[in-house]
Amino acid sequence: MLKLKSVAIDTYKENVAYLHRDCPLYRSEGFQALMKIEISVKNGERAVIAVLNIVNDDSIMDVDELGLSVQAFQQLGEQQGTPVYVAPARAPASLEEVRKKIAGETLSKKSFELITRDISENRYSKMEIAAFLVACSHSGLEREEVLYLTQAMVASGKKLSWGGSLVVDKHCIGGIPGNRTTMIIVPIVAAHGMLIPKTSSRAITSPAGTADTMEMLAKVDITNEQMQQVVQQHRGMLAWGGTAKLAPVDDILISVERPLSMDSSCQLVASILAKKIAAGSTHLLIDIPVGPTAKIHHTREALKLRKMFEYVGDHLGIYIEVILTNGSQPIGNGIGPALEARDVMKVLKNQVDAPGDLREKSLRLAGRILEFDPDVRGGQGYAIARDIVESGRALEKMQDIIQAQGELLPEQAPVPQVFEVRCELSGYVHQVDNLQLAKIASLAGAPIDKYAGVELLCKIGDKVEKGDILYKIYACFESDFQFATELATQKNGYSIYPQVPTEPEIFLV
Longest dimension (CA), the chain: 77
User: 86 - beta bridge partners?
Assistant: 39
SS3 at position 419 = strand
Half-sphere exposure of 179 (CA within 13 A, CB side): 25
Burial of 432 (0-12, 13-18, 19+ CB in 10 A): buried
Residue 397 vs residues 71, 140, 393, 487: alpha-carbon distances, Å: 37, 44, 6, 40
Dihedral class, residue 212 (left if φ above 0, else alpha if ψ from -120 to 50, else beta): alpha
The Cα–Cα gap between 407 and 196 comes to 20
Single-letter amino acid code for the residue at 76: L
Does residue 263 have an active-site annotation?
yes
Cβ atoms within 10 Å, residue 124 = 27
Q: What is the DSSP letter of 272?
A: H
Q: Which residues are CB-contacts of 16 (< 8 A; sequence separation ≥ 6)?
A: 9, 50, 51, 52, 53, 68, 69, 72
Of the residues 263, 314, 357, 433, which is catalytic?
A: 263
Using alpha carbons only, what angle is made at residue 363 by residues 191 and 329, rounded to the nearest 5 degrees?
Answer: 140
d(CA 27, CA 57): 17
Distance (Å, rounded) from C-alpha 351 to C-alpha 234? Answer: 24
Cβ atoms of 140 and 269 closer than 8 Å: no
Q: Is residue 238 within 8 Å of residue 218, measured between CB atoms?
A: yes
CB 236 within 8 A of CB 186: yes
Q: How many CA atoms lie within 13 A of 488 on its CB side?
A: 29
Rounded Cα–Cα distance for residues 133 and 118 (Å): 14
Nearest one of 214, 241, 243 to 404, comparing CA atoms: 214
Q: Which residues contact 495 (CB under 8 A, 6 or more apart)?
A: 429, 430, 431, 432, 433
Please list the active-site residues: 263
